[in-house]
Structure 1
């Protein structure tokens, strides 16, 4: 299932990671683990933030997806199911009388 993950990284933790030269490695770990189909980075609520679109095979997999963000970056994390245009069309086609 495609999920949109929005994370806001703890400023103190990210400042320390940057000062120690570990921020790139931390992000590389997250990207290698989650293999996002899309990734965007930006300021979020006054902190460093990002949005990833990832494939999650089942609900228990969410634990492995979000734990590194909490443990490594102290991030506030929101996870929302999402779909692309093809998924939306397929869903609409399932509505009786919609097609």
Structure 2
């Protein structure tokens, strides 16, 4: 199942990793491990943030994706299901609309 993983990374310990020159190395290791379909970096609510499109095979995979961010950056991780246009077409919106229309 395609998921959007948002990792909100607090200033520490990331600032210390930047100062020591290890931030890029750690992030590269994480990206190699989680193999995101897409990866973006931005600011969110005043902190660093990584946004990753991942493929979650089972709920038990959540720690595989979250723990590297928890353990290395003390990050907050959020998972959201995402759909492609093809997935949305399979959802049967027309039938649902007929069933639930008031």
Normalising by structure 2, report the TM-score: 0.87
Alignment of 1:75 with 2:69, yes or no, is no
Aligned positions, number? 98
Superposition pairs of residues 49-68 of structure 1, within 5 angstroms: 49-68=49-68
The structure carrying a bigger helix percent of its residues is 2
Unaligned runs of 5+ in 1: none
C-alpha distance in 2 between matches for 1:94 and 1:37: 30
Larger Rg: 2
Residue 92 of structure 1, CA deviation: 2.5
Aligned residues: CA RMSD: 1.8
C-alpha distance in 2 between matches for 1:94 and 1:27: 43
Segments ≥4 residues shifted beyond 3 Å: 93-98
Judging changes above 3 Å, is the alpha-carbon distance between structure 1 residues 88 and 10 closer, same or farther for their aligned structure 2 residues? same
